Amino acid sequence: MYRLEDIKTVHLEISTLCNARCPMCLRNVSGGKTNPQLPLTDLRIDQIQAIFLPDFVRQLKRIYLCGNYGDPMMGRDTLKAFRYFRETNPAIRLEMFTNGSARAPEWWRELAELRVETHFGIDGLGEVNAVYRRNTDFATIERNAAAFIAAGGQAHWDYIVFRHNERLIDETRAFSERMGFKSFRTKKTGRFFSNQKGQFKDKQAVLDEDGNTEYFLETPTNPDFLNPSLKRESMLAEKFGSFDAYLDRTPVQCKVSAEKSLYISAEGLVFPCCWTGIQLYPWYQKEKSSQVWKMIDALPEGADSINALKRPLGEIVGGPFFQNDIPERWERPSVAEGKLKVCSRICGKDFDPFRDQFA
């Protein structure tokens, strides 16, 4: 795929901890109980320094902290990690993606002083935001964002559009401008897609901790805010006979192979991208039954073979998991014969819900 010395961007998930219960996030079961398969952990500064040796940090152009499962503000050593990266490579671009509803204002001021560009996921004003960002507090978010901006921080507002908040976009954008956010962008979520059924859905149940339905999240009424890939799902199913047949036949055009980027999980596990990494703990599948787990279990030392806390990054990236196991599976004739389904779905030719969030 690529060599360690080629890598310019790292996506680091520093923690699997989060204060929110967003219903479309795999860290919980549709907004209810915490994913029972998920290890709750974070990387400490000594571990980060062991993984990110100074020469490697100096070659990078960008490190961003975002979560498959957690929010980086919850990491115990997040600020220490950013300070280490900044001091080691003063020119590096540092970014964080967060819901913003935790920590004291002083924490956010220090983040700004470290020149960490921060993307706040806020889907409305007041109580509207908590319809999706369950367990968050808007007053806390506003306070923290204000402290960050006042300290010189570059803040961006990301707004996922649902039926319940689509009419509030202009009001929320105006509010963000008054606060001093550098940008405001709407997101057309690709998560109105059933991974279990392999098809588009127009609503999702939001559950309590006992598994009871509290309410539903619904797609926007305005088609301009519907993810274009989701619109194409039925056309692809018709063209190929089924969406699964499309996944079998579509060529894989790996994004991160072209971008020379890398994903490192809060356990220290190294993957080409967060999409392969998120296959570790889907609560809706039997534990460790995914295609990715089967590949990991076949490695000489299992998960330790790709654990950067156990072996050097260069050895992992230069090893068989990256150089042979994953690329070889892109060429297989079908998912049933080992073609990686996640790669076909995310990096297939005609279906790209991640890219289309901002289309």
SS3 content of the chain, % helix, strand, coil (to 5): 40, 15, 40
Q: Which residue has the tokens 């998930």?
A: 13
Tokens at residue 192, please?
């109105």
Q: Return the pLDDT at 310.
A: 97
CB of 313 closer than 8 Å to CB of 51: yes
Read out DSSP for 135-196? T--HHHHHHHHHHHHHTT--EEEEEE--TTTGGGHHHHHHHHHHHT-SEEEEE--S-SEETT
Which tops the pLDDT comparison, 263 or 197? 263
CA distances from 41 to 13, 95, 96, 264 (A): 10, 21, 18, 13
Find residue 117's DSSP bridge partners: 95
**For the chain, domain boundaries:** 4-98+255-320
pTM (predicted TM-score): 0.95
Q: Return the pLDDT at 190.
A: 86
Confidence label for 200 from pLDDT (cuts 50, 70 and 90): confident
| Spacing of C-alpha 289 from chain mean position | 21
Q: What is the pLDDT of residues 16-74, one digit of tens each?
A: 999 999 999 999 999 999 999 999 999 999 999 999 999 999 999 999 999 899 999 99
Nearest-angstrom CA–CA distance, 96 and 87: 17
For residue 210, which amino acid is it?
Answer: D
Q: What is the pLDDT of residues 64-102, one digit of tens each?
A: 999 899 999 999 999 999 999 999 999 999 999 999 999
Nearest-angstrom CA–CA distance, 294 and 302: 9
Q: Return the pLDDT at 353.
A: 83
Q: Is the pLDDT of residue 237 over 90?
A: no
